[in-house]
């Protein structure tokens, strides 16, 4: 398994995996599959373009992208002490093999390299215990529940925010 930062050259593989994650696990994400499916490949390439504020990591099993996670840092001066991990997904066939842990480690290592970054946050849908346990194993601590954060098929979902202090 190889973990590396994705580039715009990886846009097609990233787009396919991102759409798979949204289609197969709609209650794990705030973004609706239809929103991302409407985007052109170019939008995904732009998302992966080199930036000091955003980096998406991919887990590759030979030539197949099997996992993704993004680290995003706000551009607003008053929020630059924090980054957020988002869009974590590992294909079912590769789960429980440490892929998510390797992606998390890559995001956290990147965060530690950023001057002035003090913490990393992420959120999970309340009830997603496997993800919660994985994040806790990395030292993330529960911060707060954001009730009724999104609505899917007539039901509201709460998000739990978690935080890892870097210093």
Q: What are the pLDDT digits (tens) for 90-146? A: 999 999 999 999 999 999 999 999 999 999 999 999 999 989 999 999 999 999 999
The verdict on residue 29 lying in a domain is: yes
What total of structural domains would you count in the chain? Answer: 1
Separation CA 60–CA 32 (nearest Å): 25
Instruction: Please report whether residue 138 resides in a domain.
Output: no
- pTM for the full predicted model: 0.94
pLDDT at 33: 97
Cα distances (angstroms) measured from residue 144 to each of 3, 6, 131, 147: 30, 31, 16, 9
Q: 133 in a domain, yes or no?
A: no
Give a yes or no: residue 142 inside a domain. Answer: no
pLDDT, tens only, 5-39: 999 999 999 999 999 999 999 999 999 999 999 99
- 55: containing domain: 2-117
Asked, for residue 65, whether it belongs to a domain, the answer is yes
Domain of residue 49, CATH code = 3.40.630.30
pLDDT in the model for residue 50: 81
If you average pLDDT over residues 67-84, what whole number do you get? 96
Cα(29)–Cα(23) distance, integer angstroms: 10
**Residue 167 pLDDT level (bands cut at 50, 70, 90):** confident
Strand blocks (E) in 110-154: 119-125, 141-152
């Amino acid at each position: 398994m190889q973990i590396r930062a994705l580039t715009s050259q990886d846009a097609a593989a990233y787009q396919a995996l991102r759409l798979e994650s949204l289609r197969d696990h709609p209650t794990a994400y705030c973004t609706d599959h239809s929103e991302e499916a409407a985007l052109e490949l170019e939008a995904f390439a732009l998302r992966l373009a080199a930036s000091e504020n955003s980096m998406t990591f991919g887990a590759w099993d030979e030539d197949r992208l099997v996992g993704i996670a993004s680290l995003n840092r706000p551009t607003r001066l008053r929020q630059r002490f924090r980054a957020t991990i988002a869009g974590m997904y590992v294909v079912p066939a590769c789960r429980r093999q440490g892929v998510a842990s390797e992606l998390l480690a890559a995001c956290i290592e990147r965060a530690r390299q950023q001057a002035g970054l003090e913490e990393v946050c992420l959120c999970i849908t309340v009830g997603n215990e496997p993800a919660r346990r994985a994040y806790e194993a990395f030292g993330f601590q529960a911060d707060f529940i954001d009730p009724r954060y999104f609505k899917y098929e007539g039901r509201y979902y709460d998000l739990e925010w978690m935080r890892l202090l870097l210093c």
